Each structure stands twice: as C-alpha cells, then as structure tokens.
Amino acid sequence: MSEQVQSVLITGASRRIGLFNARKLIESGFQVLATYRTYTHGVRELEDAGAQMIQCDLSIKENTFRLINEVRQHTSSLRAIIHNASGWLADSQHELDTEPMEALFHVHMEAPWLINRGLRDLLSNSQETADIIHMTDYNALRGSEHHAAYAATKAGLESLTRSFARLYAPGVKVNAIAPYLIIMNEDDREMAAEDTLRIPPMGLEPGESVIWQTLEYVLNNPYITGTTIPVDGGMSLS
C-alpha cells in the first residue's frame, strides 16, 4: 500500500525565505499549501510545481477565517503549519498612528492564533506527530528602536509558541525559529551603510538555507517542543 502524502501549510510563500522553504518542502515530497498576498513569479513557480496556492492578506481577520475554510477543502490532515508571513514595518513617525501595530498584531499574533485553533483537528489527523513552527526574530526579546511594533508582536508569537506547546502536546510539537540577519532588506542595507546594523560574530549574510536546515531539524526531531531556536550567527555573544 502506498504511503499517504503529507500536507504542510506555509504562509507568506511569495518570496525569499517562504518561497525557498516551500520549494524545499515540495522537493521533500510534501503536498504544499501556501499562502501569498502578492502574485509573484515565485507564486507561479510553486503553482507549476504542484503547490496549492491561496491568496490571503492576513492583516484582515475575515481573510484568515476564509483561509482556514479553504485549507479544509483541500486536505483532511496536516503534518505541519509554518507561520512565516510577516511585515517588516517600521514604527510610524506620527506618535498616535496605530496602523503598524494593528496590522502586525493581525499578521504575527491573531492569524497564527486563529489558524492553530481552527486547524487543530487537521494536525491531530496527521499519521506522525505534527508540527507548528512560528518564525519569530532575534529582536523579539531584545526590542527595537525603530521596529517596536514588529518586535513586540514577534514576542507575542514567541509566547503563543509556549502556550500552544503546552496545550497541543503530545500530538503536536510547537516551536519558534528566531533568526537574526538571514537576507537583508533594502532598508537594512541603508542601516548597514550607516553602520547601525550589527554584524554577528559569524560575520555572514547566510541566506535562506540556514532556515531550511532548522525547519528540517525541528520536523525530524520528536523530542523538541516549546522552544525558540536562535539562528542568529552568535548574536547572543555580543
């Protein structure tokens, strides 16, 4: 009898780390369900490779409900959910502008909370122990002068990691991956030019593969839950 194909849901797969990891999941034999907000050549590539692509702006709660329903139409079980979608939004110059905080609360905290709850039964249907993986950030616990809403909502996601790990064990492992610089954004390059971006002890801009290595490690390790794995080039040393 042939083994059942296992499904994985990954959010924010239109580019960079999400796109890279969606590709790797497909290469590893998973049926990939992936969300995107903007249609890119990466989305087209994943569609052509057989991924089920779902358009969804996670800053709008109703869209997250729609996503949950749509995933349920495509699969009855999930081996993993990877919460990768994220907005690298700076705090507003206007003190009372709530826009970045509201949007980032929806994307980084409310959507993962809803999706983890709304698809719990699909995770329970996985033949193997299932995984939830939250992509957070080195800056979540350190704080950030210019991205305070980003850092705070990523810290909230780290807290959700531990809550869901308690609640969903033993059937589902729940872990966070907290990267420092993996691939620079354009505004990072400006900060680097101004020398405000700290270079980690390992002295690298390592690229997406270090996140894939960490995802594989988490997916394949049956005895790790409720943790945050730093992928930060040794930033805790500085």
Ligand X SMILES: NC(=O)c1ccc[n+]([C@@H]2O[C@H](COP(=O)([O-])OP(=O)(O)OC[C@H]3O[C@@H](n4cnc5c(N)ncnc54)[C@H](OP(=O)(O)O)[C@@H]3O)[C@@H](O)[C@H]2O)c1
For ligand X, the binding residue among 68, 80, 85, 210 (CB under 6 A) is 85
Half-sphere exposure of 87 (CA within 13 A, CB side): 24
Shortest approach of ligand X to residue 217 CB, angstroms?
16
Name which of 126 and 212 has its Cβ closer to ligand X: 212
Name which of 67 and 78 has its Cβ closer to ligand X: 67
Burial class (CB in 10 A: 0-12, 13-18, 19+), 9: buried
For ligand X, the binding residue among 6, 7, 31, 37 (CB under 6 A) is 37
The one catalytic residue in 36, 39, 138, 150 is 150
Q: In what order do the strands lie in the sheet with 80-83?
A: 52-55, 31-36, 7-10, 80-83, 130-135, 172-179, 228-231
Active site residue 36: no
Q: What is the DSSP letter of 4?
A: P
Give SS3 for 26. Answer: helix
- Which residue is nearest to ligand X, using beta carbons? 12
Matching residue, tokens 């907005």 = 87
56 CB neighbour count, 10 Å cutoff: 21
For ligand X, the binding residue among 9, 46, 58, 67 (CB under 6 A) is 58
Whether the CB-CB separation of 150 and 92 falls below 8 Å is answered with no
Q: Which two tokens stand for residue 46?
A: 């994943």
Size of the site for ligand X (CB under 6 A): 25
Whether the CB-CB separation of 15 and 182 falls below 8 Å is answered with no
Amino acid of residue 29: G
Mask for 203-232, x = binds ligand X (CB under 6 A): ------------------------------
Interface region with ligand X, contact rule CB under 6 A, candidates 69-77, 80-88, 116-124, 216-224: 80-88
For ligand X, the binding residue among 107, 122, 174, 176 (CB under 6 A) is 107
**Active site positions, annotated:** 150
The residue ranges that bind ligand X (CB under 6 A) are: 12, 14-18, 36-38, 56-59, 84-88, 107, 135, 137, 179, 181-183
